[in-house]
Chain A
Amino acid sequence: ETGVTQSPTHLIKTRGQQVTLRCSSQSGHNTVSWYQQALGQGPQFIFQYYREEENGRGNFPPRFSGLQFPNYSSELNVNALELDDSALYLCASSLGEGRGNTGELFFGEGSRLTVL
């Protein structure tokens, strides 16, 4: 158990809809990263939030957006869903830079999104 929780665990949406995924980080962690993992692939970096600000973004379109709250929990929002957005969405928390952080990530169990 990493102490990182994600919700919902599974959801089904139709193309064009919007989805919000939620993540609670491990106690003491101020950084949250989101990854998308397609079936049979490795996780792909979407973006990272540090102290409520976006702190790096991967190769994902603007319809992928996020938030981090003062308690360091986070949301991932995806608008105008496409079939290819079907994947496991993983949230990972970590310590921010400057605190001896080696970049080790603590992952939640993921939210599996199916877009029909």
Chain B
Amino acid sequence: SQQGEEDPQALSIQEGENATMNCSYKTSINNLQWYRQNSGRGLVHLILIRSNEREKHSGRLRVTLDTSKKSSSLLITASRAADTASYFCATRLYGNNRLAFGKGNQVVVIP
């Protein structure tokens, strides 16, 4: 099964800065989703972008999708200490209700 792979895997930034994470995948997808996980707890859905969309915004989040390069990026603007977490991209294939997750990006926002 395909898997998203995030780059970079660990990011440390100052509060107020922007954080950018990238994700690549291998086959055609139905949609791509980003999730957040705090300290080994459950994952929380952040944003979904469909294969026919190129950019989407939700609050301080901006996600882009380039299907020709099979890659996506997640931008968190004006980061806060509370944004400290692991961020995962996950891809959903057509006709398939399962998600394939990447290894995750650990983001630390320093107050």
Using a CB–CB cutoff of 8 Å, the interface residues on chain A facing chain B are 2, 4, 31, 33, 35, 40-45, 48, 50, 55-56, 58-59, 88, 90, 92, 94, 96-97, 101-110, 112
Contacts and interface: CB of A to CB of B under 8 A. Distances in A.
A11 B83 CA distance: 29
B48 A104 contact: yes
A42 B103 contact: yes
Interface residues of B, number: 26
A105 B43 contact: yes
B1 A45 contact: yes
Contact of B42 (A40, A42, A55, A108): A108
A88 to B, nearest CB: 6
Contacts of A96: 97
Interface of B: 1, 3-4, 30-31, 33, 35, 40-45, 48, 50, 88, 92, 96-104
A109 B41 contact: yes
A104 B45 CA distance: 7
25 contacts: A2-B44, A33-B97, A33-B99, A35-B101, A41-B104, A42-B101, A42-B104, A43-B88, A45-B1, A55-B97, A56-B96, A59-B1, A94-B97, A96-B97, A102-B48, A102-B92, A103-B30, A103-B97, A103-B98, A103-B99, A104-B33, A104-B48, A105-B43, A108-B42, A110-B42
